[in-house]
Amino acid sequence: MAAKGPLRLGTEAPTFVADSSKGKIDFKEFAADSWVVFFSHPQDYTPVCTTELGAFAKLEPEFTKRGVKLLGLSADSTERHEGWIKDIAEVTGGQVNFPIIADYDRTVANLYDMIDYQDPTNIDHKALPLTIRSVFFIDPKRTIRTIISYPASTGRNASEVLRVVDSLQAGDKYKIATPIDWLPGQDVIVANSVKDPEAKELFPNFRTIKPYLRYTALPQA
Ligand code: BEZ
């Protein structure tokens, strides 16, 4: 199964039914009205993936606070996922409580264009390509809002994934954008679409560095 067209920012996230470490998952029902961070792992019992899943497991309460469900994917069976999840807890101290899709035939990886076309060594025992490290940020309307892709050899940064969620959610709530290396609590940029008179109403204390670069604080949550 392939995606109907290219998956881009603004595209509706394709839905699917698949086995997972938490039983059968209907993606549409799983996502319901929540944000979802959906991320792929090449394979179970691999070192980089083990460290990543431990980190995501430890950060899961922060995602939950923001109304975000985590959903992993790895190209192995649910039985292998079960054993691996025990290893992850032993090695990292992180207990994976979110589902990991068992994508042994790459149906879902193909649907989300997660297949590795770059690294000829990133293949399974049948020489079927495994996945890259994709991260899809999907909003409560099931719209894809951000996509990040890493090669299999580069572990992700779980804090960066959380930071992107914070930026997307702040941008949905206020007419702002977030600058380089922004973290919650720091000043944001007044959106370009907001002219000064409106900016004065929305952000009375905004400051202008250049007409195109205006900073403001946001109310603390
Ligand atoms: C890893 O998780 O360590 C890994 C998996 C596939 C290819 C390269 C690294």
Q: How far is the CA of 150 from the centre of ligand 1 (A)?
A: 11
In the predicted model, what is the mean pLDDT of residues 87-110?
98
The stretch 21-41 carries a mean pLDDT of 98
Q: What does the pLDDT read at residue 220?
A: 79
**Of 43, 44, 48, best ligand 1 pocket probe by most atoms within 8 Å of the beta carbon:** 48
Question: Ligand 1 in contact with 72 (CB < 6 A)?
Answer: no
d(CA 49, CA 207): 44
Buried b or exposed e, range 43-68, using 16+ CB within 10 angstroms: bbebebbbbbbbbbbebbeebeeeeb
Closest ligand 1 atom, residue 121 Cα = 7
Task: Say which CATH class 175-216 falls into.
Answer: alpha beta
pLDDT(114) > 90: yes
Question: Mind listing the pLDDT tens digit for each residue in 45-76?
Answer: 999 999 999 999 999 999 999 999 999 999 99
Residue 131 has pLDDT above 80, yes or no: yes
Q: Is the CB of 123 under 6 A from ligand 1?
A: no
The two domains 11-169 and 175-216 share their CATH topology (first three levels equal): no
Ligand 1: nearest atom to the Cα of 52? 2
Looking at ligand 1, which residue's alpha carbon is closest to its atom 2?
A: 48
Q: Write the single-letter amino acid at 194.
A: V
Q: Please tell me the distance between residue 112's alpha carbon and the centre of ligand 1 in angstroms.
A: 19
Q: Which positions are catalytic?
A: 49
**What distance in angstroms lies between residue 46's CA and the mean position of ligand 1's atoms?**
5
Query: What is 11-169's CATH topology?
Result: Glutaredoxin (3.40.30)
2 has a pLDDT exceeding 70: no
Exposure pattern of 94-104 as b/e (b: 16+ CB <10 Å)? bebebbbbbbb
Q: Domain segments of the chain: what residues?
A: 11-169, 175-216
Q: Kindly state the average pLDDT of the residues 37-50.
A: 98
Atom 7 in ligand 1: residue holding the nearest Cα? 152
Predicted local distance difference test score (pLDDT) of residue 219: 86
153 CB under 6 A from ligand 1?
A: yes
- Residue 38 and residue 71: Cα distance in Å, rounded? 5
CB-based burial label for 192 (10 Å; 0-12, 13-18, 19+): exposed
Judge contact between 220 and 210, C-beta under 8 A.
Answer: no
* Contact 42 CB / ligand 1 (< 6 Å): yes
Could you tell me if the CB of 107 is within 6 A of ligand 1?
A: no
pLDDT beyond 70 at 42: yes
The confidence score (pLDDT) of residue 204 equals 97
Rounded to the nearest integer, the mean pLDDT of the chain is 97
Q: What is the pLDDT of residues 171-218, one digit of tens each?
A: 999 999 999 999 999 999 999 999 999 999 999 999 999 999 999 999
Ligand 1 lined by 120 (C-beta under 6 Å)? no
Q: In this predicted structure, what is the pLDDT of residue 1?
A: 57
